[in-house]
Structures are given as structure tokens and as C-alpha cells.
Amino acid sequence: MTVDLATREWTTLVASPATPAYPVTIPSIIRCASFDGELVPAFVYARQDMLDKTDASVPVVIYIHGGPESQFVPNFVPANHTLSFQFLLNEMGVAVIAPNVRGSRGYGTRYMKADDQMKREDSVRDIGAILDWIAAHPSLDSKRVCVMGRSYGGYMVLASLVHYSPRLACGVATCGISDFVTFLESTAVSQPSLRSDAISVVQSTATSGSQRCARSCTTSRR
């Protein structure tokens, strides 16, 4: 838009986007208390008729953003999976929950740094809080929960499957980090000393192949 400073009149340069031809569900916002009382915000994509059910018939996808210092916001960018949310919801009857676990930006510095270094897995435990929220709602099927994410979100998927496999039906990790040692060793180095320090910390706390995924909380971010 432009504004005429003399008349203070606005002129629209680009027309408003047309209403989509397919059904669109606007997400609601919830805040789940995690293991330490931290409130974890999440966007819930679910139609009211789905939430009104009492037979636990609605399966759920938990979508975890990458980053890790990123943030999920509702949008229509295909790369962020949000368009597929509408398909899952309106065509397949699957509810979608997109949390901003600790470490996400947009909630202040304290929250963004709340999963740094040795607190890495605290963000994974936030997924446990989302699972608790699902279990507390009679319309949602807590036995049919999928966790999905890309890049660092893919790591979160793998870590969630390590910690919460009895509570998850499946996981979809797109280019997720499965071993932070090899990830740090094989990616471009912008700050060699910091990269070397991070590798040393991960190696000193991971004594087996499985622990290198589960114990990757020790990776430091700068």
C-alpha cells in the first residue's frame, strides 16, 4: 500500500489474496506445563467437530520445527509443511500440533537459551508434555501419535523416538541429525575452535553409538 501524505489516503497496490478453494482451519494456541513447570506454547490444528468426539478416534501428528532457534508460526509456506497440515486435517481427519519447545525464538532470551548445552534434552522432554496433553483429551487417540520434523526437527523426532517410543506410533525425520559428532565433523566450519570444543564435549559424554543420539544434548550452540 501507499499513502498520500497530503490527503492521508491509502492506495492498495496488491489485491488481497483470494479465499482458498479448499477448507482452511485456523489453529488455536495452547500452553502445556512441562516437567519443570515451563509453559510450552503450541498451535493445534483441529476442527471443533473433531475435538467434540469422545471416542479417542482422532490420530495426531506432532510437528517440530528446525533451527533449533527457529519458531513455528501459522503460514502457507509449503516448505514449512503448513499446507500439508490442512490436507492431513481436512482430508484425512488427523489433528496436528506444532509446539515451540524451549530453545525456540520469539519468547525471550531466557526461553531461547533454556535448552543450551547440558539442557539439550529438556526440549525433548517438552514433547512429553505435549503427549500428556494429548492423553488428557478424550477426542484424541494417544495410541496413534506420529512425530514429524525436518533438519534439527528431524533430530528431535529421533530423540523423541528414543525417549517416548512406547507412546509413539511412528516418526518421520526429514534430513534429521542422528549423530552430532559426524555432523560437526563433516559440515562447514565457521568457527573452528567452537566446533572442536563441541565435538570434545559430545565425545566425552557419549560412550556408545546409541548414546551419541540420545546424549546429543551436550552440543553447544553459538
Q: Output the pLDDT for position 67.
A: 79
CB atoms within 10 A of CB 15: 6
Is 140's pLDDT higher than 60? yes
Q: What are phi and psi of 4, to 5 degrees?
A: -85, 110
The three-state secondary structure class of 40 is strand
Summarised one tens digit per residue, pLDDT across range 153-182 is 888 999 999 999 999 999 998 887 777 777
> What single-letter DSSP state applies at residue 141?
E
Q: Which three cell numbers stand for residue 178?
A: 542422528
What is the rounded average pLDDT for all residues in the chain?
Answer: 79
CB 28 within 8 Å of CB 77: no
| 140-160 exposure pattern, b = at least 16 Cβ within 10 A, e = fewer | bbbebbbbbbbbbbbbbbbbb
By mean pLDDT, which of 12-26, 99-113, 154-168, 207-221 is the weakest? 207-221
Q: Output the pLDDT for position 222.
A: 31
Q: Which three cell numbers stand for residue 98?
A: 506444532
Average pLDDT estimate for 139-158 = 91
- Residue 208's pLDDT band (boundaries 50, 70, 90)? very low
Instruction: Enumerate the β-bridge partners of residue 98.
Output: 43
Summarised one tens digit per residue, pLDDT across range 50-97 is 888 888 789 999 999 887 778 888 876 655 566 688 888 888 999 999
